[in-house]
Chain A
Amino acid sequence: MLRAYLAFAKKSFLQKSAYRFDHFMGIFNTILRIFIFWEIYQALYGGRAEVDGITMSMVTTNFILSMGLSVVFKVNDFYLPDKLQDGSIATELLLPVSFHGRMLASNLGSSLFQLVFHFVPALVVSVLIMGMEAPVSAPMFILFLVSTLFGYFVLWSISFLMQMMSFWMLNVWAVMTIKDVFVNVLSGSMIPLWFMPNWMQGVLKFTPFSYIYFTPVQIYLGQLSIKEIFIRFAMQAFWIFVLLMAGAFFWKKGQKKIVVQGG
């Protein structure tokens, strides 16, 4: 059974490598984005050592990690919508595998490729140009990796739930764009959440967004106590569970509404 999902993961891994020029431009784009935000914040800092207790080097670390990881975390938001729109959902459902498992396996395959061939080179170049904080300790680094994995599934689950909307709307482009704005602004990958007003930070604790990139970054920088870390893990797990359950609920409802487009 697992063999089937491995095959899907392998396929999407290989597909990622099909366009080489596009891939190199993608790496360049990631480095450029990090660099632009780095420059903006350097100007904002104006040579000060720290702002609100946050050093420039911590800000740099936030951008390199969250923007770098966003390349690995990237979900194909149109996996299900495209299949519903062109009718290929019919042939998909003929395969003796769980459709959700197939969705995840495909995503994991391309994420693994992105991790090795996009994130790592972009990270090395960015660190050479801009520098970055070192991990505080080995155990913290391991906890950081765990929360990163959780963060991955939080983002994947958000997309999973949103994709289910395509059973009711044939075109979900607008919905996905709005989702992206929320994720970009509220996850700290554009504005580090430290600089958000206090009330905003309070509100964000009750949304899934801060648990995607910001929690791993905070753990990496050693900003959280062990107790706080485990509370964050619990929150990440909570959101994954809730979002997946909601997605599965809409899948069940939506499946009855499937109309195979084009004959």
Chain B
Amino acid sequence: MSFIDVEQVSKSFRINKRSAGVAGMLMNLVAPKYEKKQAVKDISFQIEKGEMVGFIGPNGAGKSTTIKMLSGILYPDSGKISVNGYIPYKQRKEYVARIGVVFGQKSQLQWDLPVIDSFELLKAIYSIKEDVYKKNLNRFVDMLDMGGFVNQPVRQLSLGQRMRADIVAALLHSPEIVFFDEPTIGVDVLGKETIREFIRELNAQDQVTMLFTTHDMQDIEKTCNRLIIIDKGSKMYDGSLQSIREKYGTERRLIVELNQEEELEGIEGVTIDNLENRKKSLSFDNNQVNINDLMNNLLQKYSIRDLTVSEPEIESIIQKMYNGEV
């Protein structure tokens, strides 16, 4: 059995549907209409100990719902979840003592108190031993460069600072598994880089198993080896970042800059577009057209100043997946 085992899990919510205006309000009062929304549909996946997995999908895809079921907050309607032998929603109290969860949009910190006071409270709640607490605190504060603001009240922190404090709060009790739900949301480029670096180090040094959701592909590219893509509650892809490129990203683009203005002859399997300043763009499928032959061909026929090949951005591949094009 895998460390994290999710088997055909489904979850739906009931949503009150209300038409606009006073008439809608009155109708809703007398005969409310409800609609069932399937947030997660028959999702299965396994994660091994020490893995770092990115969980992506558009808004409303069911990422957060899945994370909340994995962390014991929500009950699945059907299916089975087991994490390290625990059933999260049934053994919540024992289970949550072993995991850490960071919600990018919800803070665990006490709004009015200095950050360090929230940490002290967590120390009491999790019964963290003094030496472990000290060791973790010093290490994380150092890694996330938080020395400047641990004594400030949370309400005075910037979003990036608060997020870092929240990450430390979720890790003080040395959890074996950490779930991050959009840990970089609203954080600036520098802050994001610090957080990614921290996540990478923690995974590498402590073998902490991690699952995190994000909208930012950079987060995934820089941290995860494995990717799970979900859309409309169903799993669409599960595998490495590399193989997603190989499988779906076979389109290549060759940008050619000529020394003089001239038209290119048509080539089979290649779409040619004119760009500005004697630049042409040649798009083709990597499996149909050999890039070496193509370049040789061009260099013989034309006088070329510059050649660049570009791979598609992972973002645009996923965009296509969402749209059902691949």
**Chain A contact residues, CB within 8 Å of chain B:** 1, 3-4, 6-8, 11, 18, 87-91, 93-98, 255-256, 258-260, 262-263
Contacts and interface: CB of A to CB of B under 8 A. Distances in A.
B106 A91 contact: yes
B93 A96 contact: yes
Given A7-B121, A11-B121, A96 B108 contact: no
A97 B125 CA distance: 8
Interface string B76-95: 00000000000000001110
Contacts of A3: 124, 127
A262 B105 contact: yes
B80 to A, nearest CB: 16
Contacts of B64: 260, 263
A93 B124 contact: no
A93 B92 contact: yes
10 contacts: A1-B127, A7-B121, A11-B121, A88-B106, A90-B103, A91-B107, A97-B93, A256-B75, A258-B74, A260-B68
B101 interface: yes
A57 B157 CA distance: 57
Given A7-B125, A93-B73, A263-B64, 18 more contacts: A3-B127, A7-B124, A8-B125, A87-B106, A90-B73, A90-B103, A91-B108, A93-B72, A93-B92, A93-B96, A94-B73, A94-B101, A94-B108, A96-B96, A96-B125, A97-B125, A98-B93, A260-B68
B34 interface: no
A133 B112 CA distance: 44
Contacts of B96: 93-96
Contact of B74 (A7, A95, A260, A262): A260
A96 B124 contact: no
A261 to B, nearest CB: 10
A91 B118 CA distance: 13
A4 B103 contact: no
Contacts of B73: 89-90, 93-94, 258, 260
Report whether over half of chain A's contact residues are helix, strand or loop; otherwise say mixed.
loop
Nearest to A259: B13
Contacts of B45: none
Interface of B: 13, 64, 68, 71-75, 92-94, 96-97, 101, 103, 105-108, 110, 112, 121, 124-127
Given A4-B124, A7-B124, A255 B75 contact: yes
Nearest to A93: B73
Contact of A91 (B93, B103, B112, B126): B103
Contact of A263 (B92, B105, B121, B124): B105
B103 A96 contact: no
B63 to A, nearest CB: 10
Contacts of B110: 11
Given A96-B93, A98-B93, A255-B75, A90 B106 contact: yes
Q: Which 6 residue pairs across A and B have the least CB separation, nearest first?
A: A96-B97, A7-B124, A4-B125, A256-B75, A93-B73, A91-B108
Contacts of B97: 96
A3 B121 CA distance: 10
Contacts of B94: 96
A3 B133 CA distance: 15
Q: Which of B13, B73, B110: most chain A CB closer than 10 A?
A: B73
A258 B76 CA distance: 11
A89 B74 CA distance: 11
A4 B120 CA distance: 11
A260 B107 CA distance: 14
Contacts of A4: 124-127
A90 B237 CA distance: 28
Contacts of B105: 262-263
Contacts of A90: 68, 73, 103, 106
Contacts of B125: 4, 7-8, 95-97
Contacts of B71: 94
Nearest to B112: A18
A100 to B, nearest CB: 11
Q: Which of A94, A255, A263: most chain B CB closer than 10 A?
A: A94
A41 to B, nearest CB: 42
A57 to B, nearest CB: 45
A6 B106 contact: no
A6 B126 CA distance: 12
B47 to A, nearest CB: 19
A32 to B, nearest CB: 30
A260 B94 CA distance: 22
